[in-house]
Amino acid sequence: MDNKGLIFIPDISGFTRFVNAVEIEHSRNIIQELLEVIINANEIGLEISEIEGDAILFYKYGEKPGLEKIYHQVEKMFREFHKHLVAYDHRRLCQCKACAGAIELTLKVITHYGEFTGYTVKNFSKLIGKDIIVAHQLLKNDIEQHEYWLVTENLAESKPAINLPGILDWNKSAKQTETGAIPFQYAQLTHLKNELPEDPPLDLEIKNKKKVVAAYREFDTDILTLLHAVVDFQTRKMWNAHVKDIENVSDPSLPRLGTSHRCILEKGHSIMYTSAYSYKPANTYKPERIEYGETDDKKTNSIHFIIERITDTRTGLTTEFYLKNNPVMLLLFNLMMKKKMEKTVKKSMDNLTEFVKGLDFSVQN
């Protein structure tokens, strides 16, 4: 019994090939987050042998666990996986293929029971054994939809896994290998994704605000390139005359609604902003209009960017500043700050015109 145990492999599938550096980097960050979600959903004491690209090789030595217990673990990981994807799709700012297509990712889980053992080379631990090979062979099969739970006969003891009535619809099949057929049962998990509760909206905007400054400019670039130039925290200080630096970004890898950052202004002043507002067409690589806003932590002021496609190579940008609708605050702004703010916005637009030259975040089809 010492060398026998459960082999449990969740495997992410659905990403296509990406064509530029942004998409490759963002796909890596998305997969990393999803693998962490799967690991955090481990409730039955599974050990990690290794992370294999888009999959995790879990194992647990001991007696054969009941199918119901394993199912609840599969269900937990599957639900958390898709909850995370839905939340990211609702809150993401990026429009690259990786980010727009992440919602299409899905999860399959291979479960098997058998003999295996481990060995260590320096600081690396590996599992070996014929049943580890069997589990990996089952990752490649003829099941069309890639969101299922697969159970080998070694684990189900040749009995139909229908002792989970009303939950799963089981099918039987076998994987043909050089050493013979590997019989298994599988059930689709799509219904779990369809039953997820709605993702609650973030409440980060100023409820009652008034526009105090607005400016419009057209740029000789595509809409996605302008979006990245305007929104990305790393590039903001390169064109925005009001911003000297950006610090303390809460999520620098994949910015989304709820991401906070500190804007360092002239004379050492700083304001903490949170990405609070976004509108974009869903699941499209060629949007016509994208809106994005940030609100300060005290909810006294906010900035909105409205980015609109004119042609494939020309894009309009409207920049709007808002203040909380407070008569005293508005009066002081109009008397002391409005003209300076308008000059700063014009200078920023001039800088941005030069900055976007040579940038290219457009999607290549």
Q: Tell me, what's the pLDDT at 179? A: 80
Q: Tell me, what's the pLDDT at 281? A: 60
Report the CATH number that the domain containing residue 240 is assigned in CATH: 3.30.530.20
DSSP string, 3-24: TEEEEEEEEEE------SHHHH
- The two most distant CA atoms of the chain are separated, in Å, by 84
Distance CA 164, CA 192 (A): 15
Report the CATH number that the domain containing residue 46 is assigned in CATH: 3.30.70.1230
Distance CA 288, CA 265 (A): 32
Residue 365 domain-assigned?
no
Mean pLDDT by 10 residues, the chain (365 residues): 88 72 82 96 95 92 90 96 94 83 93 90 81 93 89 76 64 86 91 88 87 96 90 90 91 84 86 77 68 91 94 96 95 94 96 90 55
Residue 133 domain-assigned?
yes
Neighbours of 119 (CB within 10 A): 9
Distance CA 155, CA 206 (A): 55
Neighbours of 107 (CB within 10 A): 29
Distances (CA, A) of 219 to 260, 278, 354: 28, 21, 9
32 in the same domain as 156? yes
Q: Tell me, what's the pLDDT at 133? A: 93
Of the candidates 30, 34, 57, 35, the residue with the CA atom closest to the CA atom of residue 46? 57
124 in the same domain as 12? yes
Q: Which two tokens stand for residue 133?
A: 């090979």
Q: Tell me, what's the pLDDT at 98? A: 85
Q: At which of 127, 162, 194 does a domain end?
A: 194
Neighbours of 60 (CB within 10 A): 16
Phi-psi region of 186 (alpha: psi -120 to 50; beta: other; left: phi over 0): beta
Residue 301 domain-assigned?
yes
Distance CA 275, CA 297 (A): 10
Distance CA 23, CA 363 (A): 9
138 in the same domain as 226? no
148 in the same domain as 67? yes
215 in the same domain as 189? no
Of the candidates 202, 204, 203, the residue with the CA atom closest to the CA atom of residue 294? 204
Q: Are 112 and 131 in contact (CB under 8 A)?
A: yes
Tell me the pTM. Answer: 0.84
243 in the same domain as 285? yes
168 in the same domain as 126? yes
Residue 186 domain-assigned?
yes
Question: What is the DSSP pairing of strand 314-324 with strand 289-296?
Answer: unpaired
Residue 105 domain-assigned?
yes
313 in the same domain as 217? yes
Distance CA 74, CA 334 (A): 59
Structural domain of 112: 4-194
Q: At which of 194, 217, 244 does a domain end?
A: 194
Distance CA 340, CA 241 (A): 11
Q: Tell me, what's the pLDDT at 16? A: 65
176 in the same domain as 230? no
User: Looking up tokens 């082999």, which residue turns up?
Assistant: 7
11 in the same domain as 106? yes
163 in the same domain as 58? yes
Residue 179 domain-assigned?
yes
311 in the same domain as 164? no
Q: How many domains does the chain have?
A: 2
Residue 363 domain-assigned?
no
Q: What is the per-residue burial (b if ≥16 Cβ within 10 Å, else e) of 130-165?
A: ebbebbbbbeebebeeebbbbbbbbbbeeeebeeee
Distance CA 289, CA 201 (A): 21
DSSP 332: H
Residue 188 domain-assigned?
yes
Measure CA 193 to chain center. 16
Q: At which of 162, 194, 226 does a domain end?
A: 194
Q: Is 94 helix (H, G, I), strand (E, B) or coil?
A: coil
Neighbours of 222 (CB within 10 A): 22
